[in-house]
Amino acid sequence: AGAASAALRVVAAAATASPPTQNQRVALLATLLRALDVRRSPPKACDADDVDAVEGAAVDAFVSVSMQLTESAFVPAFAHVVEWAKARASDAPAARARLAALFRLSASLADALRAVFTPLATPLLDLAAAALDPASDPAVPGGGGGSRKKKKRKSEGGGDGDARANEDAGDDDPAVLVAEMDTWRMRTRALGALRRLFAHDKDGGDFLDAARFNQLHPLITRQLSSTPPRGTAEASAVREDGEGEDDVAASASAVVAEGSLGAEVVKCVAAMVAAAPDDALWKPAHRGVLLATRDGKTRARLLALAALGAIVDALEEEYLALLPEAIPFLSELFEDPDERVEAAARKLTARLTELSGEDLKSLMSEGGGR
């Protein structure tokens, strides 16, 4: 793994020193695609960290090469990568691995090329929608559907018992856990790529038009209520029973740790709302976030509050048009059984009170509640 990463860094350095010729580009692309495919077929001696390092080195090399290309040369090269990612669509494990690599690459390209890359990334929207769709939930080894999905649904809305129910539902089949982890990684990276593309959409809604917005916002806000796979840091970040955590603020912030799906979905929701081509589209996306505050899982309610805060950051005074709908939801959270949720709700309400100049607590006591 170390040798492969080093070789890829040499490739990146060479491409930076001298723009590759057409023949060199073809050979480079083939090499980089083999490296990006490392997660699908890793060498036996590679552990998870090694795989991640090789994939990261391949992403860095691809970005370095891309920075030397003209748009006319970059577009077919990136299109080839998209087709490569789609080529294994019938093989769910392979598709998840390749899509995760594509989304990671796309996020890095968006960071490097910013608004230049956004209009070229339209093919990613359908792929990201498919990755976030419930139909891609792994249920049995090799794909979606089946008893595993039913068990997970049974646990939804289970409140404090959700973490334990999910643990009981998950048997010890390693293939099932691998599928769940791969899906979680794919979705985390899809959200990371989308939020960067939304943030760099400077063309007045040409990239994210109304139809795309309406396609994506339910899929993105749904991730606020997703349950992390067993064994991940996110699964243990917030104890559903609220015990064993002395620092309420630290516990609440754990759900949005940098690089986690929680952090990505919060940022993605805010970037999506800010990039909406018409402010009339804000309301349905905002409603989706508000509904997540009534989820039975503590983690989901904390993420929903974090997403509301991020939307306020993005819209500032313009958020006041959405505030009336939020008041009854925040009012309910003042009586949440989990002190972490209650504290987060009170903090957000204090911020909104300052933004609006109104006594929101009085409004809540007069008209709050279901």
Which H or E run includes 138?
Answer: strand 138-140
CA 205 to chain centre: 21
- Listed in order, strand segments (DSSP E) in 177-283 are none
Q: Is the pLDDT of residue 166 over 50?
A: no
Q: Is the pLDDT of residue 168 over 60?
A: no
pTM for the complete prediction? Answer: 0.88
The predicted-structure confidence for 243-300, as pLDDT tens digits, reads as follows 544 455 656 688 999 999 999 999 999 999 999 999 999 999 999 999 999 999 999 9
| Contact between 308 and 273 (Cβ < 8 Å) | no
CA atoms within 13 A on the CB side of 264: 26
The predicted-structure confidence for 204-238, as pLDDT tens digits, reads as follows 557 999 999 999 999 999 999 999 999 888 988 87
* Coil, strand or helix at 40: coil
| Cα dihedral 214→215→220→221 (10° resolution) | 40
Tell me, what amino acid is at 342? E
| Contact between 300 and 212 (Cβ < 8 Å) | no
In this prediction, residues 120-140 reach a mean pLDDT of 90
In this prediction, residues 110-130 reach a mean pLDDT of 96
In this prediction, residues 341-366 reach a mean pLDDT of 88
Query: How many residues are listed for the chain in this entry?
Result: 370
Task: Give the pair of three-digit tokens for residue 118.
Answer: 């956004």
Give which of 23, 12, 32 is closest to 80, Cα–Cα.
32
